Amino acid sequence: MSPQPQAAVGAPLSRVDGRLKVTGKALYAAEHDVDGAVHAVIVDAGIGRGRITGIDTRSAETHPGVLKVIHHRNAPKLPYRDNSGSNNPEGRRLRVFQDDRVRFHGQPVAVVVATTLEAAQHGASLVKVRYDAEQPSTDLTKAEPDRPTNYARGDAEAALRSATVRLDLTYRTARNHHNPMEPHATIARWDGGKLTVWDKTQWVVGTQTELAAVFGLETDAVRVISPFVGGGFGTSLRCWPHVVVAALAARETKRPVKLVLSRKQMYLGTGFRPSYEYRLRLGSDRRGRLSAAVHDLDAETSSYEKFTESILAAGQMLYSMPNVSQAYRTVPLDLPTPLYMRGPGFQTASFVIESAMDELAHKLGVDPIELRRRNEPNEDESSGLPFSTRRLRECYTVGAREFGWHRRAPRPRSTREGDWLIGRGMAAGVYDTARMPAQARARLDADGTALVEAAATDMGPGTYTSQTQVAADALGLTVRSVTFRLGDSLYPPTPPHGGSMTMASVGSATLDACNNVRRQAINMAVEDRESPLYGVAADDVVVRGGRLHVKNDPTRGETYRRLLARNDRTHLEADGSFAPPSGPERHSFYGYNATFAEVAVDATLGLVRVRRVLGVYDAGRIISPKLADSQALGGMVGGIGTALLERTVTDHRDGRIVNANLADYLVPVNADVPDLKAIYLDGEDREADPLGVKGLGELVMIGVAPAIANAVFNATGRRVRELPITAEALL
């Protein structure tokens, strides 16, 4: 078929669902009006490890409005079939109310169901649980790690010993929680043996299969609905125990049950970015050509599941060097299981590697960008594959120019404005271009409007809008004529809404479905004697504004509406799909960035204030520039949080999280968000997917924290190897 004109893709559209959101009509998980719904509140374990020895529910049960208290002594045994999908890591998932074990502080130990939220909350506070408490182990540095995952090429230890320049650096990163605005929430309703849940999820299919596995149901017996998600950052990529609790409570009380986690509970078992202790040793020659890197890293996981993430890839492929060795050890602790958080793995690796590169540049007296250029690989040295696209050099060039890098004083602590020391730093960023199989369905109606459906999610990046743009161009319709629906497991399945793969995967399926519909219409027209397009080669027809016409003769054509009316068709419909090529990859697929930051550090009070951040992205094609900016700026804000503010604190004495609230777990507020700017290198990655996109949502956060840390060093001469960087490190 002839390529369609691209009118919608690339246009800086506002969100198509923006009006719904600002008028409060976009329904989030807890807001669905499900007839007869009652309320459930979870009782959290008050110890960090041990056994429940007694549970007194009498005063809760007699509280007016309380319907039932469910706990391990009265809960039915649930099948908990194996389910390797649903983002369940290796291990044995937490089975709610199935035994008396407490595996982490705050684990659900009971649920109170009541006719009102207030009664359920009060009822939960009346449940008295007795424990046989054991000493929990929650300190990453004081526990026994699992056997490592290893990678090696060359002989890194030997190369390190013979290197002219050596660095031996240990970095620590704090545990971070996702902290989306919308809390986790589930409404569950049983209709006979069928379960419907309205859930905050980044993957309706994952929640569907997990609930089916837990309750021993056919997948089709579970329907998951999630049209809007108020921020996710990864926390909703897995069906967590509270979703099971809601469904269980609904089954036990024979009523629809609504369960909303409190803000505090958002820290107690819905995933987090694990804390790392990461030792990196680098060897180079005097000019900074790297010869070896040895990575030794320990990361938190739970006692019952082994969570791992893509922490190793960047160390294998970002810079050219013959010798690399890596040992990645998870450390089982009495904590809930971590989960992917924006830029998983790469974000942490980037902080370490890019801080270390800055240290090397300083040690050698080489400009940090020049050092990176000297180590730019020609191919992916972990696989020997060519890069699909890698335009990191251009990112450096454009970024340096736009940021005014030449004005940076290389010598630390040399720029001062009153009480403030000014510093500038940069970092490179890389993130995997992930794609997974996805499907979509498109229908063109006789009135010339179209409906496209996929079981996808929009947690904020603008899936509704960007998919509408892709569909509009593929169908030759205006954006207003296209409706995109998502967030229902009845729709064609899609992969998790995470890892920045939605645009590439779902977008390509949408494109395919819409191309198929357009093809049907064109074929119908060129075979229809009454059509002005009769006899024209199908390849010569394009559609624009709902009108099919000969590519080189716009006067010859007709509208979808006329075509369908004349042929007595109420609609045309087609499925579409996308799958990455099977078999071994022929290219190495990554998105890249160069991130620049300018900070001011109060020379005496130690306070760091970010003044500006610039990101330059090699992210392939940008479908929706305005929403891309929202993504990029949000990612930078997240990076500022990681660099300067965010850390979840555990009291190792009993395993409790000390700062499980938004007053004590600090995220940036508006006053902390300075001048932010995003630049996208114009281009596309045709090897990656039919749309030519590489994914953006993760990439934009990666590189921000090390750029800030490097700027802090440039400002103060103080190298802080622990995140977040707070006043006490700089006094």
Residue ranges in contact with other proteins by CB under 8 A:
46, 118, 121-122, 125, 419, 604-607, 609, 644-645, 649, 651, 653, 656, 658-659, 661, 663-664, 666, 668-672, 726-728, 731
With respect to other proteins, which residue has the nearer C-beta, 117 or 169? 117
- The minimum distance between CB 599 and other proteins, in angstroms, equals 13
425: nearest Cα among 349, 329, 361, 331: 361
- The minimum distance between CB 95 and other proteins, in angstroms, equals 23
Q: How far is CA 61 from the centre of its chain?
A: 40
- The minimum distance between CB 659 and other proteins, in angstroms, equals 6
Q: Distance of CA 319 to CAs 291, 380, 445, 708, Å?
A: 10, 9, 52, 21
Which is catalytic among the residues 210, 684, 698, 728?
698
598 is catalytic: no
708: nearest Cα among 590, 601, 633: 601
- The amino acid at residue 196 is T
Q: How far is CA 641 from the centre of its chain?
A: 16
| Three-state SS at 300 | strand
Q: Distance of CA 225 to CAs 195, 311, 455, Å?
A: 11, 32, 9
Only one residue has tokens 């009664």, namely 119
170 phi, psi to nearest 5 deg: -120, 125
Q: Are 680 and 615 in contact (CB under 8 A)?
A: no
- First-residue to last-residue Cα distance in the chain: 66
456: nearest Cα among 418, 508, 412, 404: 508
With respect to other proteins, which residue has the nearer C-beta, 122 or 721? 122
- The minimum distance between CB 52 and other proteins, in angstroms, equals 14
Only one residue has tokens 């490592």, namely 148
Q: Are 631 and 714 in contact (CB under 8 A)?
A: no
Report how far residue 335's alpha carbon sits from residue 660's, in angstroms, rounded to the nearest whole number: 14
With respect to other proteins, which residue has the nearer C-beta, 577 or 726? 726
With respect to other proteins, which residue has the nearer C-beta, 490 or 731? 731
- The minimum distance between CB 10 and other proteins, in angstroms, equals 36
Instruction: Copy the structure tokens of residue 264.
Output: 């505090």
With respect to other proteins, which residue has the nearer C-beta, 122 or 255? 122
With respect to other proteins, which residue has the nearer C-beta, 538 or 666? 666
With respect to other proteins, which residue has the nearer C-beta, 122 or 362? 122
With respect to other proteins, which residue has the nearer C-beta, 155 or 672? 672
Q: Give 657's strand partners.
A: 650
- The minimum distance between CB 666 and other proteins, in angstroms, equals 5
Q: Distance of CA 673 to CAs 65, 425, 597, 633, Å?
A: 46, 17, 12, 9
Report how far residue 439's alpha carbon sits from residue 390's, in angstroms, rounded to the nearest whole number: 28
181: nearest Cα among 101, 109, 236, 242: 236
Q: Are 261 and 199 in contact (CB under 8 A)?
A: no
Instruction: Copy the structure tokens of residue 127.
Output: 């449940």
- The minimum distance between CB 122 and other proteins, in angstroms, equals 6
With respect to other proteins, which residue has the nearer C-beta, 550 or 603? 603
CB-based burial label for 172 (10 Å; 0-12, 13-18, 19+): middle
| Three-state SS at 149 | strand
Report how far residue 731's alpha carbon sits from residue 728's, in angstroms, rounded to the nearest whole number: 5
Beta strand 50-56 with 128-133 is: antiparallel
- The minimum distance between CB 482 and other proteins, in angstroms, equals 39
Note the helical H segments in 416-501: 463-475
Q: Distance of CA 648 to CAs 247, 657, 683, Å?
A: 29, 7, 39
With respect to other proteins, which residue has the nearer C-beta, 62 or 604? 604
Report how far residue 396's alpha carbon sits from residue 394's, in angstroms, rounded to the nearest whole number: 5
- The minimum distance between CB 36 and other proteins, in angstroms, equals 24
- The minimum distance between CB 294 and other proteins, in angstroms, equals 32
The catalytic residue positions are: 698
